Amino acid sequence: MNKLHVAEMDEIAARHPEIFHRSFWSRFRVPLIVLGAVLYGVYCWWFFAVGAVLANANWSLAGTYLADWVSYEVRPEIRMDGHGTMQIVYPRFSPLGDNPNPDWLVAERETVTRTIETPAAARPAAPKSTTSFMAPGAALGGSAAAATGAPATETRSEEVVTRAEIAMGRSTHIEVLPGEVTVQHGGESLRATMSDGKVVPETGPLPRWAVQKRPGEKIILSFGMAGWAEIDATEVSIRKRFLGWANFIFDTRSPFFGRPAADVFALIAWGERIDPQRSNLSLAWNNILYNSEWQHLDVWTKLLQTIVMAFVGTVLATLVAFPLAFVAARNIARNRFFNQLTKRFFDFQRSVDMLIWALFFTRAFGPGPLAGMSAIFFTDTGTLGKLYSEALENIDDKQREGVKSVGAPSVAVQRFGVLPQVLPVFASQALYFWESNTRSATIIGAVGAGGIGLKLWEAMRTNSDWENVAYMVVLILIVVFIFDGISNALRSRLIGRSHH
């Protein structure tokens, strides 16, 4: 190929000045826009104090919360009772039920008989946190009665634990003896003694997975996904993490709890009635629906409310927007005043945020799906009406003229001259809104307008029910995907696959 001479190149440049001498704006438009966006980003970084917020964020919580989505913890506590013995205590709502005896916790027990002198000492393992939390009255009553009693000696025999061994993972073991804890993790080991309210590590510097903030204070051990443990002066708290959702089908109060699946099926199919009032099947179903941790019935009802809100809101909006769009379209209703009135009405409904409608209707109807449905209905009437009237204004006039020319009345002109052109577009847009409302109805619910939104929000507020959040999110995703599929299939039938 020949090389161009300089003169030829100049000539080409002179012939196409619009390419070689573009204006400043057209040459630097893209970098300028990007620069503007970056500068705006810097401004927002300052405005939202992003740096400070990120620095103060509780990132260790993030890991725990995320792990909570798909796993649960079992939390035994091994308490030193001051007599060279120990007790194993589970919180009241342990996922293992009222009588947990897991095989990963091996305890050596023996029965001791001892004489107890004062009432205060008679309650060596006075429940201080989780156990007393739910029944404060009972605990208080008990200790009050004991405190007023005369100091007397009492002999009682009780079962105590002298040694406990916990298998946290393949390479992680915790051995608890009275006043002494030995931990093996990842080939390293740690021995700590507890005495006089102090925890003292005995094996030199602490390994990486153990943290003691100040000498003598509690030691926190973290084993990653296997869980963590805390060695305090008087107790060792174990948090062993298990993958999965605990008690998803039957909660711990159910008679079916803890049985293997085959056993449950056998019981339902031909077992003796557990509750003489009703069959085992209905009992099991009832237990599932009213599972106290997962609240299946409530979650499903709320989810159905969300679906119903989106569906009814969209259908009603379509029904109202449809006739109004004919009034608003310039080429159909030849009345400037009514055109403008309807169009401004649509604009008004669109521009009042869905949030405002939702809050107002929550006040009018009380919390529930009626409020959310009305909010969606009001907002979408405006948007659909605007879209419909624009579609009507863009129709081909020839069909109308044809129908008019044979002397058809006005209604017939609309029915046979206009409707066949716009109906597929109308239906497709309504389906589209149905689909997108199914997605957005969740968040409307969070302000009280019914549906699963509020339930989600409440579950998140406690910061301990993330597994319930995960369950609801999975349900929502399934529903959204199914409805997306239905809506896409119907729409591609209506208007062809080319334009979604």
Partner 1 sequence: MAANTLPKDFSESGALIERHWQELAARRRVYSWLGLSLLVLALGGSLWFANETNAGKFFDRLPYLFDFVGDIIPRDGSEIFRALFDLPSPYDDGSFKYNYPEGRLYVTDSLYVPEYFYKMLETLNIAIFSTIVGTAIGFALCFLASRNLMPNWFVRGFVRRTMEILRAFPEVVLAGFFLAILSLGPLPAVIAVSIHTIGALGKLFFEVVENADMKAEEGLRAVGASWIERVWFAIVPQVLPNFISYFLLRLEINVRASTIIGAVGGGGIGELLRLSIGQNHEAKTLAIVLLLFCTIVAVDQLSAWARRRLVGDQAFQLAQ
95: nearest Cα among 381, 292, 343, 334: 292
What separation in angstroms does the CA of 218 have from each of 41, 119, 124, 210?
A: 44, 29, 20, 10
122: nearest Cα among 99, 96, 142, 93: 142
- Interface with partner 1, residue 20, by CB under 8 A: no
Given 432, 488, 494, 495, the residue binding partner 1 (CB under 8 A): 432
- Interface with partner 1, residue 265, by CB under 8 A: no
- Interface with partner 1, residue 304, by CB under 8 A: yes
Distance CA 387, CA 390 (A): 5
The least distance separating partner 1 from the CB of residue 157, rounded to whole angstroms, comes to 48
Tell me the site size for partner 1, rule CB under 8 A.
Answer: 73
Q: Which stretch binds partner 1 (CB under 8 A): 123-131, 237-245, 253-261, 367-375?
A: 367-375
Cβ neighbors of 191 (< 8 A, separation 6 or more) are 180, 181, 182, 183, 201, 202, 203
Strand partners, 183: 174, 190
Looking up tokens 């993490």 gives 241
- Interface with partner 1, residue 266, by CB under 8 A: no
Query: Per-residue x/- marks for partner 1, 377-396, CB under 8 A?
Result: ------x---x--x------
In this structure, the number of other CB atoms found within 10 A of the CB of residue 68 comes to 19
Q: Rank residues 185 and 455 by Cβ distance to partner 1 and give the closer one.
A: 455
What's the full length of the chain, in residues?
Answer: 500
Given 457, 488, 494, 495, the residue binding partner 1 (CB under 8 A): 457
Residue 323, classed as helix, strand or coil, is helix
Q: Which stretch binds partner 1 (CB under 8 A): 75-83, 189-197, 279-287, 306-314?
A: 306-314
Distance CA 116, CA 292 (A): 40
DSSP 225: G
Distance CA 24, CA 27 (A): 5
Q: Rank residues 271 and 485 by Cβ distance to partner 1 and give the closer one.
A: 485
Query: Per-residue x/- marks for partner 1, 58-77, CB under 8 A?
Result: xx-xx--x------------
Residue 89, classed as helix, strand or coil, is strand
Given 194, 231, 413, 476, the residue binding partner 1 (CB under 8 A): 476
- Interface with partner 1, residue 364, by CB under 8 A: yes
The least distance separating partner 1 from the CB of residue 480, rounded to whole angstroms, comes to 4
Q: Rank residues 108 and 390 by Cβ distance to partner 1 and give the closer one.
A: 390
Query: Per-residue x/- marks for partner 1, 329-358, CB under 8 A?
Result: ------------------x--xxxxxxx--
> 190 with 183: CB under 8 angstroms?
yes
**φ and ψ of 360, to 5 deg:** -65, -45
Q: Rank residues 237 and 468 by Cβ distance to partner 1 and give the closer one.
A: 468
- Interface with partner 1, residue 482, by CB under 8 A: no
**φ and ψ of 77, to 5 deg:** -125, 130
Distance CA 310, CA 159 (A): 59
Q: Rank residues 9 and 50 by Cβ distance to partner 1 and give the closer one.
A: 50
- Interface with partner 1, residue 322, by CB under 8 A: no
Distance CA 96, CA 131 (A): 15
Strand partners, 159: 111
The least distance separating partner 1 from the CB of residue 60, rounded to whole angstroms, comes to 10
> 461 with 455: CB under 8 angstroms?
no
Q: Which stretch binds partner 1 (CB under 8 A): 73-81, 259-267, 326-334, 461-469?
A: 461-469
354: nearest Cα among 314, 323, 388, 326: 314
The least distance separating partner 1 from the CB of residue 220, rounded to whole angstroms, comes to 20
Q: Which of residues 21-60 bind partner 1 (CB under 8 A)?
A: 37, 40-41, 44, 47-50, 53-54, 56-59
- Interface with partner 1, residue 297, by CB under 8 A: no
Q: Rank residues 24 and 59 by Cβ distance to partner 1 and give the closer one.
A: 59
Q: Rank residues 202 and 390 by Cβ distance to partner 1 and give the closer one.
A: 390
The least distance separating partner 1 from the CB of residue 476, rounded to whole angstroms, comes to 6
The least distance separating partner 1 from the CB of residue 435, rounded to whole angstroms, comes to 9
Query: Per-residue x/- marks for partner 1, 128-147, CB under 8 A?
Result: --------------------
Given 250, 332, 444, 491, the residue binding partner 1 (CB under 8 A): 444
> 256 with 264: CB under 8 angstroms?
yes
Q: Encoding tokens for residue 384? A: 């659909």
Distance CA 88, CA 470 (A): 31
Q: Rank residues 120 and 356 by Cβ distance to partner 1 and give the closer one.
A: 356
Q: Which stretch binds partner 1 (CB under 8 A): 129-137, 249-257, 359-367, 410-418?
A: 359-367
Q: Rank residues 366 and 420 by Cβ distance to partner 1 and give the closer one.
A: 366
Given 100, 119, 367, 424, the residue binding partner 1 (CB under 8 A): 367
458: nearest Cα among 441, 445, 474: 445
Distance CA 154, CA 152 (A): 6
The least distance separating partner 1 from the CB of residue 338, rounded to whole angstroms, comes to 22
- Interface with partner 1, residue 474, by CB under 8 A: no
The least distance separating partner 1 from the CB of residue 156, rounded to whole angstroms, comes to 46
> 44 with 445: CB under 8 angstroms?
no
CA triple 239-243-247, angle to 5 deg: 90
The least distance separating partner 1 from the CB of residue 372, rounded to whole angstroms, comes to 9
Residue 118, classed as helix, strand or coil, is coil
